[in-house]
Structure 1
């Protein structure tokens, strides 16, 4: 596996990989890799000739009350994991390489980014959309792979690709890969490492309560009542608060007060200890 830290080196290496018309799959990450990330690499290897992974802790998606400096950085360990999975090229730029002196451009995707996590983290999805737009232009992948655990992020990126005519990859080549879960159902996340043993055990209530809410909604139950019961279950299990629990259209993420049978998504963000966990599941 080759590693590039500068854009000119990246483009030279990408051109080399494209020899003979080979296809490239991009897996963007912020590092601190776990099996969820490696599943994206495996899916990309199945679909494309070569995999390019990026590791970049993006400062523009961290808010003023979020500790950018505390985000785990383990480039050597992450690189070894990627190489073991058959990744061909690692793009690990510096902040200065992504945001050079004088950088003034911002990509904002309205509507789909404004509720849910967007309401709790103002500017977060602008940072996501801007850096992913740059990654698409830098690597020019045929396909890009993102985990469905960050479902709102996936929706923002798909809308951005559609609206900005990023045809390589186009919205249809942005692949959402199902969430990878621990044995007790908790979604794998870099944030799980911050949970104390007691909170980690209690966190399993999140996917369990979501499944119960989905069963109630799909069974014809009132959406508001199902969401209220979900929140009550989490608070009773030891969660400190629930930022949101919402049923939304699976594409636009517009909130739904009733379930019609069309594809929908249950999305939840809740805090336990000092950790904010997010999850989502399909409904219908």
Structure 2
């Protein structure tokens, strides 16, 4: 496995290697990431993973500085899965000057749900993904990029970006990897205590209950409010628990039919710190 740091080194390593299959990550890899690598290997001639903690997608009060960085362990896991190239740029390699040109996603898709509670998040995501795509695919004529469906809205935003910029890249969405308990795997699960890991199952359970209730009919806004109240009663601080159409993330006219998804984001162990919400923020979703 080859580890490269600069865009020039990456492009040189990819020369004459065929169609890349790319998995962008922020490191601190777990089984969910590794499942993406395994999927990528089925769809490309050379498998590339990036490890880069992107400052642009963190709000000022979020965990950029404390985000777990486990580079050596990450590389060992990637090599064991047969990854061919790891692109691990320093901040100065990817952003050699202030990134004043940024990619602004469609606000109808990007300013709701995650974008509402984390303003500017998708601008940071789109900007770094665009730059990573240029680094990996600009000299290869295109390829495949693999993302996990746990970040449901993120995949939709990236797909729209690729479509509107006519980029020759196929976006593959991989099913959410889960622990035996049903907890969606996430790098931020490392912040949870053993007790909180047990309690964290409540988020996926709340989404299933909401989806089941929505299919039975009734007032969707009331069902969502009840789901929020039930989760809050268990000590969580939810941002949203909602049912949306898979095609555009808008509320459905009738939740008893159609391709829908229940999405949720909430903090477990939440308490205010210097006026900001505390606890570990988890997200999850359930298609139905």
Match of 1:280 in 2: 285
Give the secondary structure class of the aligned counterpart of 1:112: helix
Give 1:255 shift: 2.7
Q: How does 1:69-80 map to 2 (within 5 A)?
A: 69-80=65-76
Match of 1:11 in 2: 11
Give 1:114 shift: 0.4
Give the secondary structure class of the aligned counterpart of 1:145: strand
Q: Give the conservation status (yes or no) of the 8 Å contact 2:211–2:243.
A: no
In 2, the alpha carbon distance for the partners of 1:163 and 1:260 equals 32
Q: Give the conservation status (yes or no) of the 8 Å contact 1:129–1:157.
A: yes
Match of 2:161 in 1: 160
Q: How does 1:92-103 map to 2 (within 5 A)?
A: 92-103=88-99
In 2, the alpha carbon distance for the partners of 1:200 and 1:237 equals 14
Work out whether 1:245 is the aligned partner of 2:246. no
Q: Which of 126, 129, 132 is the equivalent residue of 1:132?
A: 129
Work out whether 1:63 is the aligned partner of 2:59. yes
In 1, the alpha carbon distance for the partners of 2:253 and 2:59 equals 30
Q: Give the conservation status (yes or no) of the 8 Å contact 1:62–1:124.
A: yes
In 2, the alpha carbon distance for the partners of 1:8 and 1:47 equals 24
Match of 2:111 in 1: 114
Work out whether 1:90 is the aligned partner of 2:90. no
Match of 2:276 in 1: none
Work out whether 1:207 is the aligned partner of 2:201. no
TM-score for both structures, normalised by structure 1: 0.93
Gaps of at least 5 residues in structure 2 are 270-278
- Give CA deviations for 1:55-108 in whole Å, capped at 9, x if unaligned: 110000011111311011111110110010000000011111111124321001
In 2, the alpha carbon distance for the partners of 1:164 and 1:260 equals 35
Match of 2:226 in 1: 229
- Give CA deviations for 1:119-143 in whole Å, capped at 9, x if unaligned: 1111111000011011111101511
Give 1:252 shift: 1.5
Give 1:211 shift: 0.9
In 2, the alpha carbon distance for the partners of 1:210 and 1:102 equals 40
In 2, the alpha carbon distance for the partners of 1:205 and 1:56 equals 31
Q: Give the conservation status (yes or no) of the 8 Å contact 2:214–2:256.
A: no
Q: Any runs of at least 4 consecutive aligned residues in structure 1 with deviations exceeding 4 A, and if so which?
A: none
Match of 1:268 in 2: 264
In 2, the alpha carbon distance for the partners of 1:130 and 1:189 equals 22
TM-score for both structures, normalised by structure 2: 0.91
Q: Give the conservation status (yes or no) of the 8 Å contact 1:223–1:257.
A: no
Match of 1:142 in 2: 143
Q: Give the conservation status (yes or no) of the 8 Å contact 2:215–2:256.
A: no
Give 1:226 shift: 2.5
